[in-house]
C-alpha cells in the first residue's frame, strides 16, 4: 500500500497506526471524552462514534426540552404538563386535592363518567374479560367489536367501519398502508401529527395548503394532480388547535373535479357539530359517501380509546385484512369498545347535550371576544384558543389561571408557531355560564397584567 494515502511517508505501518491512534486519543481527551477501548488481539480500532450518538441525554430534542424546562424553572414558572387528575375530568376536575374548573379534557358530552357508559364497560368485563389478547383476525374478535363498528357505519350512512386501538395509529396505519411513493397526499397546513406520520410512512409525496384555503388546494391540484397515481386530501372536521372548520362542500367539489380521495378526521367534530352530534356531515347536510374516508377517535366524545375509519366495503375490508396497525395489533379491549358503543347510543338519545355544548361554546367565544381575548378563527363550538403571542406568556397565563382555580393547558412552540402560542379551552356540555363568566373575568384581568 502506498504511504501517500495516509500522508505519512516512510513510516512502517505499525508505527503509523500507533501515531494515528495516539492522535485520535489526544483529540478525544481534548474534547473531554474517553477513547474507545483498543480491541483485544491488536485488531484495528473501529472508527470512533461521536458520543452524542450513544447517549439519550444528547438527543437534540431532549436537550431542547431540558433547556426550556430549566429556563421556565429559573423564571419561577411551574410545568403545566402531566398534572395528576384524581377522578373523572369533565367541567370540573380534582388535582392535588383541589377542585378546578377544567378546560383541558375532551369529554365534550360528559360521556366518560356517565353511569350508563360505565355500566356498559363493567358488563363487558364480566362477559368478555379485560383484553382480547390477540389480533382480531386470528382470535381477538368479539361481538362488541362488530356492534360498535355497525353503529359507526350507520352513523355515517356508509357500508362499514373498522376500529383501531388508538386514534393516532388509525391515521398512521390507514394512510401508511393505502398510499405509496407514486401517490400524493395533500393536507391542510394545520393537520394533526398522526396524518403527517402516516404520510411519512407511506412514502407518498406530501404537500400542504394554507389553512382552510380551498382555492389554494384547487390551484395546487391543477398543477400537480397529473404527476401522480392516487391523490388523497386530508382535512379535519374541527381543527384541534384553532377550533374552526373547513367549508366541506367546497372541498368535496374540488376532490371530485381532480379525481382525488377525501379523508376527514372527526376527532374533534363528532358529538360537537350537527344538531344530533353526527359531526361535520350533519352540519352541512351531506350524504355519507360524499367523503371517501371518515376518520375519528373513540377517546373524546365516545369516552373510550381508539380510532375508527368508516366508508365503503372495499376500503374497510381492505384495512381489516391488510393494514399492519390492525392486522398485527390486538383488538380493542371489550370494556373500551362497550363504553364507546354506549356513548354513541347515548349521544343519539340525548341531543340536548349536544345543543348545550354548542350553546356554551358560543357563549364562551362571545364573552372572550368582548373581553378583548384573541380567539383567532375559532367557530366557538368546542375548541377556543386564547392566542397570547409567546410560549412564555402562554405558560404564565396557564400558571396564573391555575392559581385561581382554572385548569387550561398552554400550547407552546413547536406544537404551534412561537408567535401563536396560546391557551386552548375545550368546552364541555357540563360547563355552566357562571363558570365561563368567572373564567373570562380572570382572563380580562390577566390581559392588563401579564
Ligand atoms: N386526530 C386528531 C385531529 C387529534 O386531535 C387526535 C388527538 N387529539 C388524534 C387524531 C389522535 O387521537 P387519539 O388521541 O385518540 O389517539
DSSP string, 239-307: -TTT-----HHHHHHHHHHTT-EEEEE-TTTTTTSSTTS--HHHHHT--GGGSSEEEEESSSTTSS--E
Residue 329 CB–ligand 1 contact under 6 Å:
no
For residue 296, which of 257, 347, 334, 260 has the smallest C-alpha distance? Answer: 347
- Residues of the chain where predicted confidence (pLDDT) is lower than 50: 1-11
405 vs 99: CA distance, rounded Å: 7
Which residue out of 194, 266, 268, 305 has the highest number of ligand 1 atoms within 8 Å of its CB and is therefore the one to mutate?
194
Residue 107 CB–ligand 1 contact under 6 Å:
no
Residue 163 CB–ligand 1 contact under 6 Å:
no
Distance 418 CA to ligand 1 centre (A): 22
Residue 174 CB–ligand 1 contact under 6 Å:
no
For residue 401, which of 100, 108, 105 has the smallest C-alpha distance? Answer: 100
Distance 447 CA to ligand 1 centre (A): 31
Q: How much is the pLDDT for 175?
A: 98
**CATH number attached to the domain at 80-109+351-449:** 3.90.1150.10
- Which residue has the least CA distance to atom 12 on ligand 1? 167
Domain boundaries, the chain: 80-109+351-449, 115-349
Residue 267 CB–ligand 1 contact under 6 Å:
yes
pLDDT digits 0-9 by tens, 113-138: 999 999 999 999 999 999 999 999 99
Residue 166 CB–ligand 1 contact under 6 Å:
yes
Residue 218 CB–ligand 1 contact under 6 Å:
no
Question: Beta partners for 261?
Answer: 232
Q: How much is the pLDDT for 6?
A: 38
Which residue out of 104, 167, 234 has the highest number of ligand 1 atoms within 8 Å of its CB and is therefore the one to mutate?
167
Which residue out of 295, 299, 343, 424 has the highest number of ligand 1 atoms within 8 Å of its CB and is therefore the one to mutate?
299
> Any residues with CB less than 8 A from the CB of 425 and at least 6 apart, and which?
103, 364, 383, 384, 385, 386, 408, 439
Q: How much is the pLDDT for 7?
A: 39
- For residue 66, what are the CA distances in angstroms to 88, 144, 322? 31, 44, 41
Residue 296 CB–ligand 1 contact under 6 Å:
no
**48: its cell numbers:** 470512533
Q: How much is the pLDDT for 202?
A: 98
Q: How much is the pLDDT for 315?
A: 98
Residue 297 CB–ligand 1 contact under 6 Å:
yes
Instruction: State the DSSP H helix or E strand holding residue 148, giving kind and residue range, or none if neither.
Output: helix 143-156
- Which residue has the least CA distance to atom 14 on ligand 1? 167
Q: How much is the pLDDT for 79?
A: 85
Residue 220 CB–ligand 1 contact under 6 Å:
no
pTM over the 0.85 mark: yes
Residue 299 CB–ligand 1 contact under 6 Å:
yes
- Furthest-apart CA pair in the chain: how many Å? 91
Q: What 3-state class would DSSP assign to 425?
A: strand
Instruction: Report the atom number in ligand 1 closest to the C-alpha of 106.
Output: 8
Residue 300 CB–ligand 1 contact under 6 Å:
no
Per CATH, is 115-349 categorized as 3.90.1150.10?
no
> Any residues with CB less than 8 A from the CB of 257 and at least 6 apart, and which?
218
What pairing do the DSSP bridges indicate for beta strands 261-265 and 293-297? parallel
Distance 239 CA to ligand 1 centre (A): 11
pLDDT digits 0-9 by tens, 401-424: 999 999 999 999 888 999 999 999
170 vs 309: CA distance, rounded Å: 7
Q: How much is the pLDDT for 43?
A: 64
Contact between 211 and 188 under an 8 Å Cβ cutoff? The reply is yes
Amino acid at each position: 500500500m502506498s504511504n501517500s494515502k495516509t500522508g505519512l511517508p516512510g513510516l512502517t505501518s505499525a508505527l503509523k497506526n500507533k501515531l494515528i491512534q495516539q492522535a485520535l486519543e489526544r483529540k478525544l481527551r481534548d474534547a473531554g471524552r474517553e477513547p474507545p477501548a483498543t480491541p483485544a488481539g491488536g485488531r484495528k480500532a473501529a472508527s470512533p462514534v461521536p458520543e452524542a450518538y450513544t447517549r439519550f441525554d444528547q438527543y437534540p430534542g431532549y436537550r431542547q426540552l431540558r433547556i426550556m424546562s430549566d429556563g421556565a424553572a429559573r423564571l419561577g414558572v411551574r410545568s403545566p404538563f402531566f398534572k395528576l387528575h384524581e377522578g373523572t375530568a369533565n367541567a370540573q376536575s380534582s388535582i392535588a386535592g383541589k377542585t378546578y374548573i377544567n378546560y383541558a379534557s375532551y369529554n365534550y358530552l360528559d360521556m366518560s363518567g356517565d353511569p350508563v357508559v360505565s355500566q356498559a364497560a363493567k358488563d363487558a368485563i364480566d362477559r368478555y374479560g379485560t383484553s382480547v389478547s390477540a389480533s382480531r383476525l386470528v382470535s381477538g374478535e368479539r361481538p362488541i367489536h362488530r356492534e360498535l363498528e355497525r353503529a359507526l357505519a350507520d352513523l355515517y350512512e356508509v357500508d362499514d367501519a373498522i376500529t383501531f386501538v388508538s386514534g393516532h395509529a388509525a391515521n398512521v396505519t390507514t394512510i401508511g398502508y393505502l398510499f405509496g411513493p407514486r401517490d400524493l397526499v395533500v393536507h391542510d397546513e394545520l393537520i394533526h401529527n398522526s396524518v403527517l406520520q402516516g404520510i411519512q410512512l407511506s412514502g407518498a409525496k406530501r404537500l400542504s395548503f394554507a389553512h382552510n384555503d380551498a382555492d389554494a388546494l384547487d390551484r395546487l391540484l391543477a398543477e400537480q394532480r397529473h404527476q401522480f397515481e392516487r391523490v388523497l386530501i386530508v382535512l379535519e372536521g374541527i381543527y384541534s388547535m384553532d377550533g374552526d372548520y373547513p367549508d366541506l362542500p367546497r372541498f368535496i367539489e374540488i376532490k371530485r373535479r381532480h379525481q382525488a380521495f377525501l379523508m376527514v378526521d372527526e376527532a374533534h367534530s363528532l358529538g360537537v357539530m350537527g344538531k344530533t352530534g353526527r359531526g361535520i356531515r350533519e352540519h352541512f347536510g351531506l350524504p355519507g359517501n360524499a367523503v371517501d374516508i371518515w376518520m375519528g377517535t373513540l377517546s373524546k366524545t365516545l369516552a373510550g380509546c381508539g380510532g375508527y375509519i368508516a366508508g365503503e366495503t372495499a376500503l374497510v375490508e381492505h384495512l381489516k385484512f391488510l393494514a399492519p396497525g390492525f392486522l398485527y395489533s390486538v383488538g380493542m379491549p371489550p370494556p373500551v369498545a362497550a363504553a364507546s358503543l354506549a356513548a354513541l347510543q347515548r349521544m343519539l338519545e340525548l341531543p340536548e347535550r349536544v345543543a348545550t355544548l354548542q350553546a356554551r361554546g358560543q357563549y364562551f367565544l362571545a364573552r372572550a371576544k368582548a373581553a378583548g381575548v384573541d380567539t383567532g378563527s375559532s367557530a366557538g363550538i368546542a375548541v377556543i384558543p386564547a392566542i397570547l403571542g409567546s410560549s412564555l406568556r402562554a405558560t404564565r397565563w396557564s400558571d396564573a389561571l391555575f392559581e385561581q382555580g382554572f385548569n387550561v393547558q398552554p400550547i407552546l412552540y413547536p406544537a404551534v408557531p412561537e408567535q401563536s402560542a396560546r391557551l386552548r379551552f375545550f368546552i364541555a356540555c357540563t360547563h355552566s355560564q357562571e363558570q365561563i363568566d368567572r373564567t373570562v373575568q380572570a382572563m380580562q384581568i390577566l390581559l392588563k397584567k401579564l
